[in-house]
Amino acid sequence: MTGLMSKTANKLGRLSVLLIPFLWMTVFFLLPFLILLKISFSQTRTGIPPYTEVFEWAGGLLFKIHGTMENFYFLISDSLYFAAYTNSIKIAAISTLICLLIGYPMALGISRASPKVRNILLLLVILPFWTSFLIRVYAWIGLLKNEGLINHLLMALGIIDQPLVMLHTPFAVYLGISYSYLPFMVLPLYASLEKMDYSLLEAAADLGAKPMQAFLSVTIPQSMPGIIAGSMLVFIPAIGEFVIPDLLGGANTLMIGKVLWNEFFLNRDWPLASAVAVIMLVILVLPLVLWQRHQQVLEERDQ
């Protein structure tokens, strides 16, 4: 009897542990997404809320559906939104690559440092999070503008005669995103590299592999989980970034986050903005699901 009660208690404990994240995802992701999906099938109107109802109660258990696909058809037919999606993906992908190229040597150096030095270096990586994200972006405005610190320093050194135009350019957007999301790349990479068995590098060297060959054939494959995790942590928020393109990129920088802001708050076209958000979510979630499925297939084959 006691054993049965303990097994029941263990099952309830496991169920409660699993139930908490499921409830969290349901309340803060699934329900908001379903509301957004419903609005995307509605039409714009003047009033509160600024969209028509998709479902109308007809008495009893009957409902009338007034949904429309016009918003999605409009997104497909208008080249502006396609350009916003492709430009967002391009900027996010290039920024992710920049973070990887900068973050990998940083993570590798931190993982090979002594424990005392390693803690200090990790603190320096995390330190920017202690400052407001918006303040850090505004600080780059002061550095990059024509009368900013960088131009003053270059002119004082005699490197340039006239100020360089850096603010409100694609360069400023890439710089701002790479700077802001670099810790999200370094930390997963460090977690993978810190667990790596460095005796494999010694074995590769004993077999005649040069340092670069050992790095490409041993270090990179061993750190691949960190590369994938860091790339996802940078790419996913970067593709919907609004603050950095708006402040550092100016009016000419077209990204989907800025389009969403304009549709929601300037045009007051909530149905179209919801359709934009739904398509962006599909673009982000579908590759993740396919990748996870691919990883499960590989694990099953290995077993």
Angle at the Cα of 211 from the Cα atoms of 208 and 212, rounded to 5 degrees: 115
Tally of structural domains, the chain: 2
Residue 113 DSSP class: S
The helix-helix angle for 79-112 and 224-239 (nearest 10°) equals: 140
Residue 115: inside a domain: yes
- For tokens 């040069």, what's the residue? 210
Q: To which H or E segment does residue 287 belong?
A: helix 270-302
* Domain edge (last residue) among 36, 68, 100: 68
Claim to verify: residue 161 and residue 124 sit in the same structural domain? yes
In a 3-state reduction of DSSP, which class is residue 65?
A: strand
Structure tokens at 109: 């150096």
pLDDT tens, residue by residue, 10-66: 676 677 777 888 888 888 888 988 988 999 988 888 877 888 887 776 666 666 777
- Ranges 29-33, 249-253, 258-262, 299-303: which has the least confidence: 299-303
- Domain range for 51: 23-68
280 and 144 within one domain? yes
Contact 67, 194 (CB under 8 A): no
- Of 52-56, 264-268, 280-284, 296-300, least confident by mean pLDDT is 296-300
What's the pTM? 0.85
Distance separating alpha carbons of residues 77 and 79, to the nearest angstrom? 6
Residues 56 and 127 in one domain: no
Q: List phi, psi (to 5°) of 91.
A: -65, -45
Q: Are residues 121 and 231 in the same domain?
A: yes
Tens digits of residue pLDDT in 165-210: 898 899 999 999 999 999 999 999 999 998 888 788 878 887 788 8
Quick one: pLDDT at residue 102?
Answer: 95
The residue from 13, 44, 68 where one domain ends is 68
Q: Largest alpha-carbon pair distance within the chain? A: 87
- How would you class 155 by CB atoms within 10 Å of its CB: exposed for 0-12, middle for 13-18, buried for 19 or more? middle
CB atoms within 10 A of CB 235: 21
In a domain, 8, yes or no: no
Residues 149 and 288 grouped into a single domain: yes
**Are 186 and 257 part of one and the same domain?**
yes
Check residue 298 and give its pLDDT: 64
Task: Please tell me what DSSP assigns to residue 147.
Answer: T
In whole angstroms, give the CA distance from residue 102 to residue 185.
Answer: 9
61 and 78, same domain (yes or no): no
Bridge partners of 65? Answer: 55
* Domain co-membership, 172 together with 244: yes
pLDDT at 4: 54
Whose structure tokens read 């290039």?
Answer: 94
C-alpha distances in angstroms, 237 versus 9, 108, 177, 248? 40, 24, 10, 17
Confidence of residue 94 (pLDDT cuts 50, 70, 90): very high
DSSP 51: B
* CATH code assigned at 244: 1.10.3720.10
Residue 9 is assigned to a structural domain of this protein: no
What pLDDT was estimated at residue 104?
A: 95
Q: What is the DSSP letter of 43?
A: -
Domain membership flag for residue 170: yes
Helix (H, G, I), strand (E, B) or coil at 193: helix
- Answer yes or no: do 30 and 88 share one domain: no
Integer Cα distance of 235 and 91 in angstroms? 9
257 belongs to a structural domain: yes
- Rounded Cα distance, 24 and 20, in Å: 6
Residues 51 and 183 grouped into a single domain: no
Token output for 104: 């990998």
Q: What is the pLDDT of residue 8?
A: 67
State residue 282's pLDDT score: 84
Whether 2 is covered by a domain: the verdict is: no
Token pair belonging to 65: 């559906």
Distance from CA of residue 78 to its chain's centroid? 26
CB 51, CB 67: distance < 8 Å: no
Coil vs helix vs strand at 56: strand
Say yes or no: 187 and 287 in one domain. yes
The per-residue pLDDT for range 220-254, each reduced to its tens digit, is: 988 888 998 899 999 988 998 888 998 998 777 88
Question: Domain ends where: 68, 91, 121?
Answer: 68
Q: What is the mean pLDDT of residues 273-302?
A: 78
Residue 250 in any domain: the answer is yes
Q: Mean of the per-residue pLDDT values for the chain?
A: 85
Does residue 112 form part of some domain?
yes
Which pLDDT does position 3 carry in this prediction? 56
**Residue that the structure tokens 């970067």 belong to:** 238
Q: Supply the pLDDT for residue 54.
A: 78
Q: Please indicate, yes or no, whether residues 41 and 165 belong to a single structural domain of this protein.
A: no
pLDDT of residue 284: 82
End-to-end CA distance of the chain, in Å? 37
